[in-house]
Amino acid sequence: MADPSTAPPLTRVSVQAAHKLIEPYIHKTPVLTNATLNRLASTPRTEAELAGSEWAGRTPAKPVLRFWFKCENFQKIGAFKARGAFHAIERLKQEPGWAEGGGRERGVITHSSGNHAQALSLASRSSSIPCTIVMPTISSPAKIAATRSYGSEIIFSGPTSAEREAVTSSVIAQTGARLVPPYDHSDIILGQGTAALELQSQVPPTTTLHGIITPCGGGGLLSGTALACEGTGIRVFGAEPSFEGADDGRRGFAAGRRIESVKSLTIADGLRTVLGRIPWEIMYERRLVAGMYSVSEDEIKQAMRLVYERMKVVVEPSAVVGLAVALYNEEFRGMVEREGGVEGWDLGVVFSGGNVSLEMLGGLFA
């Protein structure tokens, strides 16, 4: 990883510079709309649908929503992670003395459940840099196979962040490889923010984008999105699964402090990671994220089914958590109703990835 002390400032201007640096290596992914999902989101939920939930007994919200889906499932390696990985590698190559001092031969290393693993593998292979990936044993077989296909060496670890980081540290001590973390570094965050930067230019000039919602695991995508929107008037929101405490960002916002550990087996496997320190500073301490919201496993599956059936688009569970919030979280929907009024909101929704196996889909929707 490029020396953190030489990292660009965490600003919208730096996101723009990151985009110029990685533009030759990434796809400018499409932005899609869907009238059916707009209609569903703009229809109040029934009292029966709210019964048994935390929203039971309250008047259903009546927001007006128009979605703009930024489809990072069509990005290289099938996820937004390619943006941060290519930016990290290109910045590392610019570091004075790195190649001459043997850095290229020692290579790079990371720990990841899948998408960042694939992204770094592709980015490093593109520059002929050796790459080692530490993956938890519970990673998706499809993601393991895809990572191997890019030529990286895979070392397995336990499922928690602490276990992954311990194995990674051991390998670094033995090989001298340079760590490229999955989210908690300026170069990664700035690279991820380029998706929101593109989205802003892809909506029609006559459309005012009121907000963007993204999934939040480690927080690289969400904090990068917040930087890309700073000073634009676009509000940024984070979406998380609630299962087994995976909504550490939401809970941290409520408590006023970062939650430092998470152990969840949510179906949104890309969001099982604890929120990173640098993303937390951007999101909470700089107040660049307006709110954090969570949804249940069933709501994630319902949103995923809608995307498959109505949009004919392949997404993984993590990718639809933002959409699920807009469809089912009454706190978020009530906020849009109050602030959007009869005109409503145009809301950007980032589909973070589409790396899901047919076997997993069969299990989810059996």
Provide the terminal-to-terminal Cα distance of the chain, rounded to the nearest Å.
Answer: 43
User: Which residues are catalytic, by number?
Assistant: 81, 113
- The angle formed by the CA atoms of residues 227, 322 and 290, to the nearest 5 degrees, is 45
CA distance 190 to 186: 6
Contact in structure between 119 and 187 (CB atoms under 8 Å) = no
- The angle formed by the CA atoms of residues 307, 311 and 312, to the nearest 5 degrees, is 95
Is residue 57 packed enough to be buried (19+ CB in 10 Å), middle (13-18) or exposed (0-12)? exposed
8-state DSSP, 24: T
The 10 Å Cβ neighbour count of residue 9 is 9
168, two tokens? 């990674």
- The angle formed by the CA atoms of residues 262, 275 and 282, to the nearest 5 degrees, is 160
Radius of gyration of the chain (CA): 20
SS3 141: helix
- List, as one string, the DSSP characters of 25-51: TS----EE--HHHHHHHTSPPPHHHHT
CA distance 53 to 328: 11
The 10 Å Cβ neighbour count of residue 168 is 22
